[in-house]
Amino acid sequence: MGRPLVCLCLTGRTLEEDVAIAKKYQNYIDVVELRVDWLEEDERLKIRDFPSMVGIPTLLTIRRIVDGGRYEEGESSRTMLFARALAFADSDPMNNFAYVDFEEDFNVPSLQDAALAFGTKIIRSFHDMKNPVKNIAARLEKMRTTGYEIPKIACMPHNLSDVTELFKEASQLPEGEQILIAMGSYGLPSRILAERMHSYLTFTSPAELSANLAELGQIDPITLSEMYHFKNITKDTTIYGITGFPLKVTSSPKIHNAAYPKEGMDAVFIPFKADTVEEAKAFADLIGIKGFSITIPHKEKIIGQLDSVEPMVTAIGACNTAVHEKAGWKGYNTDCIGFEKALQEFTGLKTLEGKKVSIIGAGGASKAVVYAIYNLGAKACVFNRTVSKAKAIADIYGFEYASLGPESIDKIKAYSDIIVQTTSKGMGSTEASNSDNDPIYFYDFEGTEMVTDIVYEPEVTPVMARAKAAGCKVDNGYNMLRYQGEAQFKLYKGVYGSK
């Protein structure tokens, strides 16, 4: 079996619309799935012509509501539609449907016979839109009724553990003889690593469907191909990744995956969302991940899962990088190196001696920032919503600490040469500054402060926009991300290809 095929799911209202979308992605896909249940009623009568209209091997699917589709009419009208689509086989197979999806409980022998006679492969499917499916091997075996069909199971994991279980079961299955998909945002790795799922194909969706497909656990064919180099993923490909929760925003896959071909590395970097560090580590162990980045909110708790950590992790109390070395999992912190380099560039200063710095936030990333500020010789005050956390960090370095509210305005003024924003409060917000997206909304900038936000999405965060308007020099967290990523890359490269 070669690599898994890439199938694009078409959910247009008309056949013309579906053809236009398919053409846009044609260089990145092997198969299109015509979702007849999404078509307008009149269009459904013309589906027999679709394979010749699109010129790409087509999977015919008429999905019922119970299986996550939109087809509301009864089974007899669905049977008629299937019959209409599979009738009058053309001598050129490209003008016939290449595949047809019959659900496990849809058994119409005449349709099955017609499909087989015309060389249309049957995909025998089972969907559980709410739960994971266990005992996959037995279930797939039961679904093979004629011996010719490709069984498909699509299910909804409740967490990353359910996905891990699916990968574990899939590893025992023959390569490419079934289709397995874990849906939803936990399931994204099952689509990118379809090869490890021993899946016949992977499903993709047009980017037009949603601004952030990844949040839905879906992926578009161009991202799959150009960012993840899907067609190059084999059983020998080294896997790296990033974990966190909810892991909605991350540029790391883009940065790391872009570097692998340049470095001649056969590797892929995937996001895997995990509620707990235990689940993240179990997933990494099962699929043989060699190194992974850790983001919000797992940077502190991951330490308990590792076999050893570098001294900087102990000093900072947070770890953003786990590497599978010969002696086991080792934790590193590259946030500190990344922030220090980015701050030196931003301020144009090699040391911060004599400077007074406000550090907003006392989470995992803040710990690395405080460490770097201390290293650079500045005096600082740490502000946080949960004051006890600000105190715990500040005490280590002999810094001041304070609550994060209007009562601390004078304190911020006293430490206003540089203001470093490290909370997640403005992350993802494109609205103007307000009390929900700007952690220091109550502080009026003089215009002399240098303000850096370690958040990089959006490019200009609400607090940055406000500071800039007041005349301050501002920067976002992209350079920190880039430099910490470069340091991570070196660590990951150190274990590249190791068994």
Establish if 359 lies at the interface with ligand NAP (CB under 6 A). no
Q: Name the burial class of residue 234, with classes exposed (0-12), middle (13-18) and buried (19+) by CB atoms within 10 angstroms of its CB.
A: exposed
Q: Which one of residues 8, 31, 289, 481 is an interface residue with ligand NAP (CB under 6 A)? A: 481
**Shortest distance in whole angstroms from residue 474 CB to ligand NAP:** 14
Q: Which stretch binds ligand NAP (CB under 6 A): 20-28, 111-119, 141-149, 356-364?
A: 356-364
Joined tokens for residue 447: 């215009």
Q: Name the burial class of residue 110, with classes exposed (0-12), middle (13-18) and buried (19+) by CB atoms within 10 angstroms of its CB.
A: exposed
Which one is catalytic: 273, 299, 379, 425? Answer: 299
Q: Which is nearer to ligand NAP, 18 or 475 (CB)?
A: 475
Q: Closest-CB residue for ligand NAP? A: 363
Q: Count CA atoms closer than 13 A to 73's CA, side-chain side.
A: 13
**Shortest distance in whole angstroms from residue 298 CB to ligand NAP:** 8
Q: Which is nearer to ligand NAP, 58 or 461 (CB)?
A: 461
Establish if 217 lies at the interface with ligand NAP (CB under 6 A). no
Q: Which stretch binds ligand NAP (CB under 6 A): 215-223, 355-363, 373-381, 464-472?
A: 355-363
**Shortest distance in whole angstroms from residue 384 CB to ligand NAP:** 5
Strands across the sheet with 418-421, in order? 400-403, 379-384, 356-360, 418-421, 450-453, 473-475
Q: Which one of residues 347, 439, 443, 461 is an interface residue with ligand NAP (CB under 6 A)? A: 439
Query: How many residues of this chain interact with ligand NAP, rule: CB under 6 A?
Result: 29
Establish if 394 lies at the interface with ligand NAP (CB under 6 A). no
Question: For residues 106 and 79, what is the distance between their CA atoms, to the nearest angstrom?
Answer: 9
Q: Which one of residues 121, 139, 385, 468 is an interface residue with ligand NAP (CB under 6 A)? A: 385
Strands across the sheet with 179-182, in order? 179-182, 150-155, 121-128, 99-103, 58-61, 31-35, 5-10, 201-204
Instruction: Establish whether 168 is a catalytic residue.
Output: no
The identity of residue 179, as a single letter, is I
Site string for ligand NAP, 448-467 (x = CB under 6 A): ------xxx-----------
Q: Which is nearer to ligand NAP, 391 or 468 (CB)?
A: 391
Q: Name the burial class of residue 230, with classes exposed (0-12), middle (13-18) and buried (19+) by CB atoms within 10 angstroms of its CB.
A: buried
Establish if 384 lies at the interface with ligand NAP (CB under 6 A). yes
Candidates 91, 82, 141; CA nearest to 112 is: 82
Output the CA–CA distances (angstroms, integers) from residue 124 to 4, 104, 150, in the order listed: 17, 6, 6
**Shortest distance in whole angstroms from residue 296 CB to ligand NAP:** 4
Q: Which one of residues 136, 323, 480, 487 is an interface residue with ligand NAP (CB under 6 A)? A: 480
Please list every residue from 302 through 341 that binds ligand NAP, using CB under 6 A: 335, 338
Query: Could you give phi then psi for residue 319, rounded to 5 degrees?
Result: -135, 130
Q: Count CA atoms closer than 13 A to 346's CA, side-chain side.
A: 26
Candidates 6, 156, 133; CA nearest to 68 is: 156
Please list every residue from 283 through 302 that binds ligand NAP, using CB under 6 A: 296-297, 299
Q: Which is nearer to ligand NAP, 289 or 343 (CB)?
A: 343
Chain position carrying tokens 């992977």 = 202
Establish if 365 lies at the interface with ligand NAP (CB under 6 A). yes
Question: For residues 107 and 59, what is the distance between their CA atoms, to the nearest angstrom?
Answer: 18
Site string for ligand NAP, 406-425 (x = CB under 6 A): ----------------xxxx
Q: How many CB atoms lie within 10 A of CB 75?
A: 12
Q: Which one of residues 67, 475, 477, 488 is an interface residue with ligand NAP (CB under 6 A)? A: 477
The identity of residue 175, as a single letter, is E
Could you give the residue numbers annotated as active site?
299
Which residues are at the interface with ligand NAP (CB under 6 A)?
296-297, 299, 335, 338, 361-366, 384-386, 389, 404, 422-425, 427, 439, 454-456, 477, 480-481, 484
